[in-house]
A and B are shown apart, each in its own frame.
Chain A
Amino acid sequence: MIGFSVNGRRVDLDVDPSTPLLWVIREQLGLTGTKFGCGMAQCGACTVHINGEAVRSCVTLVSQATGQSVTTIEGLSPDLTHPLQRAWVEEDVPQCGYCQSGQLMSAAALLRDHPHPMDDDIDAAMTGNICRCGTYPRIRRAIHRAADMMAKGGAR
């Protein structure tokens, strides 16, 4: 059995420890907001947090999550109130939307470390997340907007 917490809920699973965390999240736990895009940490669609750090769950073995705290897009906020989610709405970021869970999770980790990110910080944190629809300019604007919201008291 492998035990860890997901979005604050304790889970104990009988699963092959070499299974990538992504597939455990999606198939065993039914949290399908975390997406599969490449399977080799190239596209960022599968980004989740382990203890607040952004990781690519497609190359993270479930055993590595043992005893850790995992947060997925479903746990970013209970009601779309995270400043990033509000900023994503304001900038109307998503097109197809498939990569956006990963984009948001990468951005959330960025804002934790850099509450006032410069464009270079955004490049560094977000370059691992591919979007084929071309929402990058809006993602950039939305991250700045979320940082402003947090500075003005929207911080969580």
Chain B
Amino acid sequence: MIRQTVVPFERREFLKLSVAASGGLLIGFQFPGIGKLASAEESKTFMPNAFVRIGTDERITVIVNHSEMGQGVYTSLPMLLADELDADWSKVGFESAPVDPKYNHPAFGIQMTGGSSSVWSGLQQFRQAGAAARAMLIAAAAQQWNVEASTCRTDSGAVFNPTGAKLSYGLLASAAAQLTPPEHVELKDPKNFKLIGKPIKRLDTPEKLNGKAEFGIDVKLPGMVTAVIARPPIFGATLISFDDSRARSMPGVRKIAAVPTGIAVIADTFWQANMARDAVRIEWDEGSMRDFDTARMMEEFRERAKTPGTTVRKDGDAEAALSSAAKKIEAVYEVPYLSHLMMEPLNCVVDLRPDSCVLWTGTQFQTIDRANAAKTAGLPPEKVQIHTTFLGGGFGRRANPHSDFVIEAVQVAKVAGAPVKVMWTREDDMNGGYYRPAFLHAIAGGIDGSGSVVSWRSRLVGQSIMAGTPFADMMMKGKGYDPASVEGVDDLPYAIPNIAVESHQAEIGVPVQWWRSVGHSHTAFAVESFVDELAAVAHKDPYQFRRQMLQKQPRHLGVLDMAAQKAGWDKPLPKGMGRGIAVHFAFGSYSAHVAEVSVTDNKVRVHRMVCAIDCGEYVNPNIIAAQTEGGAIFGLSAALFEELTFEKGRLQQTNFHTFPVLRMNECPEIETHIVESKEKAGGIGEPGVPCAAPAIANAIFAATGKRVRRLPIRLSEAV
């Protein structure tokens, strides 16, 4: 639940209002250091420039500065605003924000969606916007009635006075727009919330059931052509020559041209472009990655893990404690490269004119994409606008630090001579790089005579996500390692006196990127699997073993206990079945899963996942449950099936038949239990992912006595 807060406006100009061109009330915020708020006059030009628009038709439009990729921000953020506004929820709609510094992420300073941060970062922003609008509507009503504003109240989209007279927000909108904004807004006492904390249904559901929701791939402009790109088969390969003599004369083909990322084939329709691309003969210089092989890479990782890496964390003396421990065990865990594989493959529509560039795309990275599009187009950023459509999944892929799919589309637009949609096929998308990096964790642990863990040493080997991006300086400066590689093990929560965490950064020419839950996607698997191994060596129950070492971590304990209790941890299971448990902190939230699996003929079947989540103050428990379920399934899918491999530099997977993902018939029952908390709000988009793999792997051990140390799970490899 959300606490009550009174927010002083430190500067008068923090809040301004302006009359929208449509004749409604617009509330805008200016955040310190972000530049001048548009004046009323400018707002007509740069509309919309704020978070809420109230129409004389009673419609309340919440302008959302985060991208809707399934995580529910087009519902949860409007809920915050509408609750403070006392809006009639049935009149509330949403709109995606244009790119503008006013819509920058309050914590991260750019307009973006990621890091499971939309709700916690928008809490104050959206509540304040709603409360301020409400105060002005009350003032407008009080003026009309000639009564004190303090005697008026609001409910369900209207202001009421003590005599019971009523004025709806729509009727008040024009008058309110003439008023001076309040010095302070007082936020609601949480006990008066009507929407926040309730399982409100999503606003974007209806249009996702009748084909009306517009994704990037659905955008169509007058005169638009469609392009596909023939990209190199190996990362770093370069073009030697191409022969398009046959392709050029194929139906619908407009143009075939080399662009920096490959050969662009531009035609009237996608299918024509796609057919023509197959007819282009291309000779590539395969470059230095021509012999790249993931099996060999993992061997090299294994060798490297035998040597000390850059120190990430050092508590006590892990080496000495390992040497003197009564029992010492070591294990090596490996995870592969993974594709995000959003259901909507990448695409971007560009309308490039001499003095403007307008893009339509499902992006998570508006500020970065606009800057990169502007640079590519040779225009100042303010001449570039991005319409953020619905995203057919994101999972991090659409937040590309290099704006790969956007820059390429602008490059194609420069040769297309018409508005152009650049489409990626599934094969293009899978082969396009920016994967979750493969990682290896070598862990050693020592136990004393009483079964207590006295030493833990983790060595990680893998590629840095931040290196080479605009964020490298900020994230890695002075560290010698990438925090995104080690998150989830650098903060090992267990009470162990001697801990060493070391990182080896691998330099490999495979582009990598954040993939839903980033480093936690592999650190939780390694850490929580190894905790289980230690429990077995200590002859202790894996749940109780964790409890003992988490006595000073109440929120870890809270989710651990909840998951164990709801799963019936102590209830016996039939032979061949097993339960596994895992707990993890990520993105400000605590998560624990219990998995129930059966193993028959070396085949794993996950029957049930019980998830407990403590994400602090929350807005919509229905969305919390959906994200936790979805996160668990995302983690489960990776654990059971997903793997990208390279041989002779070439990706061996092309589409869903060679990169299987979890399907309906493999999906277990999933329960989500929220641990009520008054703590600061955490994230929810990603925290459901990390525990899935270790909970399943640990359940397999419980069922079979075999350890899974490599993902995806192959029982033939278990030891």
Residues on A facing B (Cβ under 8 Å): 16, 19-20, 23, 26-28, 30-40, 42-43, 45, 72-74, 76-77, 80, 85, 88-89, 92-101, 104, 122-124, 126-140
Contacts and interface: CB of A to CB of B under 8 A. Distances in A.
Nearest to B71: A95
A124 to B, nearest CB: 8
B664 A36 contact: no
Given A98-B344, A124-B665, A132-B661, 6 more contacts: A19-B271, A33-B211, A35-B217, A100-B209, A133-B343, A136-B663
A40 B655 contact: yes
B213 A97 contact: yes
Contacts of B279: none
B632 to A, nearest CB: 7
A129 B251 CA distance: 32
B664 A89 contact: no
B439 interface: no
23 contacts: A23-B269, A32-B217, A33-B211, A35-B215, A37-B343, A39-B425, A39-B426, A42-B655, A73-B210, A80-B210, A96-B69, A96-B344, A99-B392, A104-B209, A127-B664, A127-B665, A128-B663, A132-B343, A132-B661, A133-B393, A134-B633, A137-B667, A137-B669
A51 to B, nearest CB: 20
A36 B212 contact: no
Contacts of B391: 96
B70 A96 contact: yes
Interface stretch (B120-128, B181-189, B199-207, B233-241): B199-207
Given A40-B657, A127-B663, A134 B343 contact: no
A7 B596 CA distance: 45
Contacts of B271: 16, 19-20, 23, 27
Contact of B664 (A20, A76, A133, A140): A140
Interface string B393-413: 111000000000000000000
A99 B657 contact: no
B204 A130 contact: no
Interface in B319-356: 341-345
A140 B666 CA distance: 12
A119 to B, nearest CB: 9
Interface in B192-226: 201-202, 204-215, 217-218, 220, 226
Nearest to A139: B664
Q: 3 tightest A-B contacts by CB?
A: A33-B211, A134-B633, A98-B392
Given A30-B220, A35-B343, A97-B392, A134 B622 contact: no
A134 B72 CA distance: 14
Nearest to A102: B343
Given A73-B211, A96-B393, A122-B664, A38 B655 contact: yes
B631 interface: yes
Contacts of B425: 39
B254 to A, nearest CB: 15
Name, among A100, A123, A137, the residue most crowded by chain B CB atoms within 10 Å (CB to CB).
A137
B656 interface: yes
A43 B343 contact: yes
A122 B395 CA distance: 27
A47 B212 CA distance: 16
Contacts of A127: 663-665
A92 B626 contact: yes
Contacts of B670: 137
Contact of A32 (B218, B251, B622): B218
A56 B530 CA distance: 44
B270 interface: yes
Chain B: number of interface residues, binned into ranges: 35 or more
A36 B428 CA distance: 13
A136 B12 CA distance: 50
Interface string B653-678: 00111000111110101100000000
Contacts of A77: 210
Contacts of A126: 664-665
Q: SS class of chain B's interface: helix, strand, loop or mixed? A: loop
Interface in B142-180: none
A134 B629 contact: yes
B51 interface: no
B390 interface: yes
A65 to B, nearest CB: 15
A74 B629 contact: no
Contacts of A93: 205
A94 B202 contact: yes
Given A96-B344, A98-B343, A135-B630, A34 B72 contact: no
A36 B345 contact: yes
A61 B215 CA distance: 24
B342 A132 contact: yes
A31 B669 CA distance: 35
Interface string B371-393: 00000000000000000001111
Interface in B610-658: 622, 626, 629-634, 655-657
B218 A134 contact: no
Contact of B209 (A42, A94, A129, A133): A94
A130 B343 contact: yes
B186 to A, nearest CB: 32
Given A123-B665, A137-B629, A92 B655 contact: no
A74 to B, nearest CB: 5
Contacts of A129: 663-664
A46 to B, nearest CB: 11
B626 A34 contact: no
A133 B72 CA distance: 12
Contacts of B207: 97
Counting chain B CB atoms within 10 Å of each CB, which of A34, A88, A97, A139 scores highest? A97
Contacts of B665: 123-124, 126-127
A132 B210 contact: no
Nearest to A20: B271
Given A34-B211, A127-B664, A134-B632, A99 B343 contact: yes
Contacts of A72: 211
Nearest to A131: B343
Contacts of B202: 92, 94
A40 B220 CA distance: 24
Contacts of A88: 205, 209
Nearest to A31: B211
A95 B70 contact: yes
A94 B208 contact: yes
Interface string B567-578: 000000000000
A132 B211 contact: no
Contact of B657 (A42, A96, A98, A139): A42
Nearest to A16: B251
A18 B115 CA distance: 44
A33 B392 contact: no
A30 B665 CA distance: 33
Interface string B65-76: 000111110000
B208 A97 contact: yes
Contacts of A27: 226, 269-271
Contacts of B72: 95
B423 to A, nearest CB: 8
A135 B637 CA distance: 13
B219 to A, nearest CB: 9
Contact of A96 (B218, B220, B343): B343
Nearest to B215: A98
A92 B345 CA distance: 24
Given A27-B270, A88-B209, A136 B343 contact: no
Given A92-B202, A95-B630, A104-B209, A36 B217 contact: yes
Q: Which of A23, A38, A104 has the most CB of B within 10 A?
A: A38
Central interface residue in B202, B343, B626, B662, by most chain A CB within 10 Å? B343
A88 B214 CA distance: 19
